[in-house]
Amino acid sequence: NRKYSPVGDKNVWVEFTALARDFKAVNLGQGFPDYDSVKYLNEKTLECAKESSNLLHQYTRSPGHLRLANAIANCYGKLTGRDINPLNEVLVTVGAYGSLFNSLTSFISEGDEVIIIEPFYDCYAPISVIAGAKCVFVPLKPKTDREMTTSADWSWDTKELEAAFSPKTKLIVINTPNNPLGKVYTREELQQIADLCIKHNTLCVSDEVYEHITYDRAHIRMATLPGMWERTITVGSAGKAFSSTGAKLGWTIGPKELIRLCQSVHNNSIYCCPTFIQEVIARCFELELSRLDTDECYFKSIAAELKPKRDRLAKLLIDAGLKPVIPEGGYFMLADISKIAPNFHSDENECKDSKFVKYLIKEKDENTLEKAAEILKNLHVD
């Protein structure tokens, strides 16, 4: 928990984005799509600019611009098979970050415990610590040492998961599909967590920003498991759903009693998200909603588009002597570096993966530059 203290200025994105910029390295760590956002995003933006009355340049409804709240409720209503009330079961936030921040800070009280499954998206721990919680970590571990492993080979030890729950547990944070492992939780795994949440009367914050990016296994929504809607907060992101990280819009979906709490933090910190971009994203949702069951739907085509890139990158890593874990979802890939970098070790200040990536960024020579150029050519990255 000391390591995740919010005090101090260490932030992996700030640090590595600056390093990549300074040393002109390709940054595959930040989820910054190099391909275009969903094709019609510019069209919808122009449409709004042309049609808009001045109202799109003024504050909108605090918990979410009505057209967007309606579109989210309609879309997730279809995806979850339950009626979602746009007025009190949806909260539009500043990215998934906003959703994570206002839900964790509204539920956690000083002295609570928060269970986090490792490896995890880095902000869960510092936000929980800001809110006064102690983090209890449960690692996903590889269950095989085969040459080719996939994220499905990783799971937790059931006893460790059970032991993490205590009378102080307020909530568990899960992330499926997972960043960075790419694991897509199975129904059995979700059920195990659901059973424990119900048994210990805890909440579940389910970060599902990569919900539409799955390759080998369908995404299952925690909130759809029996008895879980009442205790689950689902987090989504326009950055991922429409490949538009700059839109910086996210949403929280859940029962009105929980949304009301998140909203009180939102009201007093953000008040409302930018109106114009909410209108644009509302129109994007409406379009996808009209073709949700077809292959043209972006929520389906994005994974089809990314899958061959995943396979190509895995091959390139193998050719470079690394051992990738093939992700079932999301757009990140972990790789075992021990064969090519056996001399990197973690110490109390820094983990070996961080040291190794810094080494790659700073010490790259002509050969690695050439190799990077070759990789880029194959990946069609600018």
State the number of binding residues for ligand GLN (CB under 6 A).
Answer: 4
- State the sign of the Cα–Cα–Cα–Cα dihedral 245, 247, 248, 251: negative
Cα separation, 96 vs 278, in Å, equals: 14
245 sits near ligand PMP (criterion: CB under 6 A):
yes
Q: How far is the CB of 61 from ligand GLN (least distance, A)?
A: 27
For residue 191, the partner it binds in ligand GLN, ligand PMP, none, with Cβ less than 5 to 8 A by kind, is none
Residue 337 φ then ψ, to 5°: -100, 0
Q: How far is the CB of 317 from ligand GLN (least distance, A)?
A: 18
Cα separation, 305 vs 294, in Å, equals: 15
For residue 207, the partner it binds in ligand PMP, ligand GLN, none, with Cβ less than 5 to 8 A by kind, is ligand PMP
Q: How far is the CB of 373 from ligand GLN (least distance, A)?
A: 24
CB contact at 8 A, 243 and 302 = yes
Residue 280 has, within 13 A of its CA and on its CB side, a CA count of 28
Q: How far is the CB of 97 from ligand PMP (least distance, A)?
A: 4
93 sits near ligand GLN (criterion: CB under 6 A):
no
Q: What angle do CA 120, 123, 129 make, to 5 degrees?
A: 110
Among 13, 23, 59, 271, binds ligand GLN (CB under 6 A): 13
Among 207, 211, 279, 288, binds ligand PMP (CB under 6 A): 207
95 sits near ligand PMP (criterion: CB under 6 A):
yes
31 sits near ligand GLN (criterion: CB under 6 A):
yes
30 sits near ligand GLN (criterion: CB under 6 A):
yes
For residue 151, the partner it binds in ligand GLN, ligand PMP, none, with Cβ less than 5 to 8 A by kind, is none
Structure tokens at 34: 């190099």
For residue 13, the partner it binds in ligand GLN, ligand PMP, none, with Cβ less than 5 to 8 A by kind, is ligand GLN
182 sits near ligand PMP (criterion: CB under 6 A):
no
Cα separation, 348 vs 345, in Å, equals: 10
For residue 278, the partner it binds in ligand PMP, ligand GLN, none, with Cβ less than 5 to 8 A by kind, is none
Q: How far is the CB of 248 from ligand GLN (least distance, A)?
A: 11
Q: Which of residues 343-362 bind ligand PMP (CB under 6 A)?
A: none
Smaller CB separation from ligand GLN, 136 or 213? 213
Q: How far is the CB of 219 from ligand PMP (least distance, A)?
A: 13
Among 76, 101, 107, 121, binds ligand PMP (CB under 6 A): 121
- The residue ranges that bind ligand PMP (CB under 6 A) are 31, 95-97, 121, 175, 179, 207, 209, 237, 239, 245, 250
